[in-house]
Amino acid sequence: MARWYEKASVQTALVSGIILILVSMGGGLLSLYKDNQRLIQGIQDEIDNTIIEFSDNALKASREAIHIELTPELMTSEEALNALKRVNQEAAVYETVVNLTKMHRLIKKYGKEETRERFVKVINEYANAHNQLNEFLQTLLDSYEREKRISDVEKANQTYGQYVNLLNSRTKKRTEIHTFVANLTSDDFDIE
């Protein structure tokens, strides 16, 4: 038969062992918590840096694209073709300088549902506006196959007015993308 102090010694050892296990688990959980917080902070820093980079690059693209003349005469097929080339050249500057892919990846991965939906909407609206401008210029080019030059002043003014409206619409839609990204906050993302 075991003596009372032998039983107490075994119980003390068991309690001590359980306490050591709990302490080590607590330390492990604390370590996991700290790792998770570092990961969350790293993701938040990546998002913040990408937003800043996007905004800086949008300004840089604007400075580069400003040298491309977008106010052409549209009286002849050659002028319309040059306008089409310049419109696409200006768009290519933005696509090259501004990293929309990186922003899209972060929004797709971490953005809340409403953030993702709004981002897709502004991107699609810009693409549609750009396509409408290209289609207008292409239709204009096709019309020059029938007549070599617009000779009617009223028709020329109407054509130029349509061009300016479509160009302004595209510029507005691009600005909406920049504004959307610049106004993103941590509330627009679900990182935890």
pLDDT tens digits for 73-111?
Answer: 777 788 888 899 999 999 999 988 998 899 999 999 999
Averaged pLDDT for residues 127-145: 90
Asked if the structure places residue 25 within a domain, the reply is no
- Work out how many domains the chain is built from and give that number: 1
Asked if the structure places residue 2 within a domain, the reply is no
Q: What is the rounded CA–CA span in Å between residue 70 and residue 80?
A: 11
Asked if the structure places residue 24 within a domain, the reply is no
**Quick one: pLDDT at residue 25?**
55
The answer to pTM > 0.85 is no
Asked if the structure places residue 121 within a domain, the reply is yes
Burial (Cβ within 10 Å: 0-12, 13-18, ≥19) of residue 58: buried
Provide the residue range defining the domain that includes 175: 55-188
Asked if the structure places residue 17 within a domain, the reply is no
